[in-house]
Structure 1
Amino acid sequence: MRFNFLKGKNVVTNYEGAKAYELTPEMELYSAVVTAGLSDSFYESGDERLKRIQSLMVSNDPKFVAKLAVYARTSMHMRSVPLVLAVELAKYCSGTDLVSKTVKGVVQRADEIMELLAYYQLSNGRTGTKKLNKLSKQVQKGLSGAFNSFDEYQFAKYNRDGEVKLRDALFLVHPKAKDDEQQNIFNKIASKSLEVPYTWETELSALGQTNFADEKEKAAAFKVKWEELIESEKLGYMALLRNLRNIIQADVDYVYMQKVCSRLSNAHAVARSKQFPFRFLAAYREVKELKSDFVAMVLSALENAVMASAQNIKGFDEATKVVVACDVSGSMQKPVSARSKVLLYDIGLMLAMLMQSKSKRVISGMFGDKWKIINMPNKGVLTNVGEFYRREGEVGYSTNGHLVIDDLYLRKIVMDKIMIFTDCQLWNSSGGGGSLARSWKDYKKIAPQAKLYLFDLAGYGNTPLRIEDNDVFLIAGWSDKVFDVLEAIEDGASAIRKIKEMELV
């Protein structure tokens, strides 16, 4: 996002007590939304993050909030937060069809109908037997449109026993079917007669309920089933990533593992999968610990998949000189969500190594108490992340990001792009007068064309620089869409402008 619209001083302090600068209301909400998993972060609990998003919403134009919700779902591939924005928007925006369009825009999967309703009853403090006996008309209208967006397979696939069930949602929303075929599907939902789809989950679940004579017979049955699922191509790309351990441990035959690796590394499949970059890292770590002669070929396939995803990175050419600097401070050692083993630190390393893979002239390193250059090859993204991870204790755990710029300035090294991957809680632990803002001002004297990119991986709502020129940018969020944002910056565009230009249908 181009960060040139801050006005006045806007000086605050960050969570470390260092000078920082507030974002505009739009940028602050955007940053909080696209970096939020509504789970605990280092400086805020999930409830505090949710409350901050709620308060930021009322400081913004409802149309912007609506478009941001749809953008977060369709462009950033987020799921929970867009549903939250849609529900919260309904509390203070009535009398128009803005909420219904938002609801329809953020519900991209059949199960999100039930998830939205579950959050609706939670957000509105509904208790008692009938928690959802009354629904906002605009939310109801949007969900009615959503009901007509899915076929029987999609409804059956996500017909689960959750807080809000599909049948209950149907009776609550009362959608009007778009045609006879859709009405027939609604009748099946009501009568609980949806045809159970053939999916890898249902197949494995049924097998798991079978009684076997012994463990040997059970292992043989699961091997056959995994081979059948691989051959049928019913495993989606994400399912394949998440089940690599199970497939390897099932000891499938070589020909099936070849099919798995071929699909993993297929550039078209990678592009269509829309996976967060760190998903590849999580799979890589799972597989690396296994004792199997398939491990090497699977790791190679994952490296190829990541390199294929890196092809989406634009805005670089061979002559571009790039610095990638990774924050390895204590606040970055925090999981991205409650169930994840992936840390904010991992995401920073992953994005940094993806950027490096596109650059021919690059300086890479990490900072904490000090800044240390660690030279790595352009290829082997996942291997490089592992090497950085192994060495993170070498620089300490403070957040002295200004040292990256100071080193370039003292050595008179002129670079085109300096990319810092951080939670933006930067400060000077030495107690001196150094700061990122001061260091950048000095560096611009020897590198007037240089640009600084701050990748905000946590979204706390402030940045260590007063951003009011065209040479400093903050990029919030960590999906593969950050690459599109980079391209937009090079073209002089703005993520905020993109959101505002969206059409809600």
Structure 2
Amino acid sequence: MTRFNQRSVRPAVHSPVTTTGERTITHEGATGHLRDARSELFLLAVSNFVGQDAFYEKGGDRDDRYTRLVRKLAVEDPAWTVGLLGWLRGEGNMRTAALVGAAEFVKARLDAAAAGNLVPDVGAENANGGGWNRQAIAAVLQRADEPGEMLGYWTSKYGRKLPKPVKRGIADAVQRLYNERALLKYDTDSKGYRFGDVLNLVHASPDPDKPWQGYLFQHALDRRHGNADEIPEPLKMLRRRAEVSAWPVEDRRKMLDSHDLAPTFEAAGMTWEALAGWLQGPMDKAAWEAIIPAMGLMALARNLRNFDEAGVSDTVAAQICARFADPEQVAKSRMFPFRWWAAYKHAPSLRWGHALEQALGHSLANVPRLKGSTLILVDRSPSMFPGYGFSTPNSSDITLAEQAAVFGSALALRAEKPTLVEFGGESKQLTVPRGGSVLKLIEQYGTIDGTDIPTAVKKHWFAHDRIVIVTDEQTRPGWLPSNMHRYGGMQETAINDLVPKATSVYMWNMAGYKPGAMPSGTAGRHTFGGLTDHAFRLVPLLEAGRDADWPWIQPAA
């Protein structure tokens, strides 16, 4: 009898987020599945805005769990953890979690070294863990205000004495990040650690390939100590800003109305916030139109309401829309996909709509066009609206439910044969128009009390080729009324009871809670996480019969 050599046999593939086989319960009482430490840390890291409460977990508890996991893996698996932290700050776009993680990574390794519990990794670090530690610090500092942020975190928690790896990692970042524009934007009196303070503490040397940087460092030190009488000649942007700042206040708005000051503002490194302070009054049409060319995409997307209220011209609006429609600029902005939904949601005018749709599409470039039939389940339960119940505040805050709707809608509109369902305790299928708009499709979603993944699967799965579930995984047990007569009561039903192993199930974890709703890592059951589209790249890889690894590890050719 043929048992194994059958046409239906597929190669076993593995994905990185892996369960251990140990059981627990979800926050809603169903059987939960525990993940190994790396998997738990990854899912938490990509969803943890430090200090913020989640529906089932206080912010402090989440931060403590994150710190414990980082400190554990810093000692046990430093190479993997450094890879995570660098990716988290880069492609993962999680700034604060990466910074906190790097600091705790270093502290854990220094503590282990002091206790004699650190095994040196020959070729990667010295006996005190300096190599990995310095790499971790430098890897997560990607913006010029972050060296000061790192010092603020470290000294507030561990005191003013800075270990050498912290100093050297920060010095590496300072050499890479400090320039004139950064000094103008971030070196302000509101900061506890000014650029001069950072330079004093870490003793960074100027980059030999940046002959102007020595002048910049000295000027930052002089202005910190109040003796920056004259700006060095090589610092042309700072000198231009000083000239513009010297204009009489009463003449500034007249100059703005009568001259094209956009090139001047660009040369002076003016941001829109700096311009508002320079005018010492409201930002009107002329002010916005002068500064818009120098604004980044994030600032543009967040100010659409202000542009409309000020009456920015259609010509300038078209220039903004052209930038939103540029895939290279969208990629460079590293904006989360849901930020484009937020911009659309809060913009008064329809003139931005098509460009925002294009920008959202560019930010979701990694969402695959899945062949065959796909069941897509999007969680709309109360826990996906953390802090807000069922009402979303009229602000830029976008709930997990809306973020899930962004991913689910994009996947549905690109899939060959999609079945798109919103679920909670009950569920409802949504209409997916061919060639439709992700932004308009998101507007169809509602809110549904309860969370019951198995029942939603049972109701809507009809031999689809795959299932994608976008959720926080905290499901209720799921009940099959047909089993009540056999068991004298209700029986819990798991996803694996309902879906054959030949059908892949992809769980998209949005919240990073500890319990998972199903086993994962192999046997057609895979869990991803994050607030960007990057993990979607794993789906075609797995369906092509290839193993998927962590996103910072390049697949073998």
TM-score class, shorter-chain normalisation, is 0.7 to 0.9
Specify the code of the residue in structure 2 equivalent to 1:143.
I
1:166 maps onto 2:218 in alignment: no
Are positions 1:387 and 2:444 aligned together?
yes
Which residue matches 2:290? 228
Measured in 2, the distance between the counterparts of 1:20 and 1:344 equals 21
After TM superposition, list the pairs within 5 Å mapping 1:89-100 onto structure 2.
89-94=105-110, 95-96=128-129, 97-100=131-134
What is the aligned-residue RMSD (CA, Å)?
Answer: 2.5
Find the residue that maps to 2:284 and give its secondary structure.
helix
User: Following the alignment from structure 2 to structure 1, what is the Cα–Cα distance between the partners of residues 372 and 330?
Assistant: 26
For residues 336 and 524 of structure 2, the distance between their equivalents in structure 1, rounded to whole angstroms, comes to 27
- For the residue of structure 2 that corresponds to 1:191, the secondary structure is helix
Cα gap change, 1:466 to 1:178, in 2 (>3 Å): same
Q: Partners in 1 of 2:429 and 2:176 — Cα distance?
A: 51
Letter in 1 for 2:39: M
In structure 2, the residue matched to 1:309 is 363
Matches within 5 A, 1:269-284: 269-284=329-344
Map of 1:148 onto structure 2:
175
Amino acid at match of 1:46: G
| Cα distance in structure 1, aligned partners of 2:63 and 2:29 | 23
Establish whether residue 46 from structure 1 lines up as the match of residue 59 from structure 2: yes
Answering whether residue 277 of structure 2 is matched by residue 206 of structure 1, we say yes
Distance apart, 1:88 and its partner CA: 0.4
Secondary structure class of the residue paired with 2:398: coil
Q: 1:40 to 1:175 in 2, by over 3 A?
A: same
2:457 counterpart of 1:405: yes
Distance 1:468 1:271 in 2: 29
What does the per-residue CA deviation read over 1:371-401, in whole Å, with 9 as the maximum and x for residues that have no partner? 221112242111111111xx32xxx311111
What are the equivalent positions in structure 2 for 1:97-246 lying under 5 Å apart? 97-124=131-158, 126=159, 132=160, 134-150=161-177, 151-160=179-188, 161-179=190-208, 180-192=211-223, 193=228, 195=238, 196=241, 197-210=268-281, 222-230=284-292, 233-246=293-306
CA distance in 2, matches of 1:420, 1:208: 50
Instruction: State the match for 2:431 in structure 1.
Output: 375
Q: Larger relative CO (CA 8 A, sep 6+): 1 or 2?
A: 1
2:294 alignment partner, SS class: coil
Structure 1 residues 114 and 89: alpha-carbon distance in aligned structure 2, compared to 1, 3 A threshold? same
Q: Give me the whole-angstrom Cα distance separating, in 2, the residues matched to 1:335 and 1:349.
A: 18
Specify the alignment match of 2:493 in structure 1: 435
Q: Deviations over 1:417-468 (max 9, x none)?
A: 211111110123658324333xx33321xxx532111111100122111225
The structure-2 alpha-carbon separation of the partners of 1:143 and 1:58, relative to structure 1 and needing over 3 Å to count, comes to closer
8 Å Cα contact 2:272-2:295 kept in structure 1: no
Contact 1:66 1:85 in 2 (8 A): no
> Aligned-pair distance for 1:13?
1.2
**1:119 & 1:402 partners in 2: Cα distance?**
43
Paired residue for 2:122?
none
TM-score normalized with structure 1 length: 0.85
**506, 527, 535: which one pairs with 1:453?**
506
Partner of 1:59: 72
After alignment, is 163-172 or 187-196 more displaced? 187-196
**Per-residue Cα deviation, 1:185-208 (whole angstroms, up to 9, x for no partner):** 110110125725423335432344
**Contact 1:15 / 1:43 at 8 angstroms: preserved in 2?**
yes
Residue 77 of structure 1: CA displacement?
Answer: 1.4
Rounded to whole Å, the distance in 1 between the matches of 2:92 and 2:142 is 13
- Equivalent position of 1:129 in the other structure: none
What percent identity do the matched residue pairs reach? 25
Aligned pair in 2 of structure 1 residues 373, 501: CA closer, same or farther (>3 Å)? closer
Q: Cα offset for 1:342?
A: 0.7
- What is residue 248 of structure 2 aligned with on the other side? none
CA distance in 2, matches of 1:253, 1:205: 19
SS of 2:311's equivalent?
Answer: coil
- Note the C-alpha offset of 1:45: 1.5
Q: 1:488 to 1:274 in 2, by over 3 A?
A: farther
Kept in 2, the 8 Å contact 1:399–1:428? The answer is no
Aligned to 2:48: 36
Distance 1:442 1:203, change over 3 A: closer
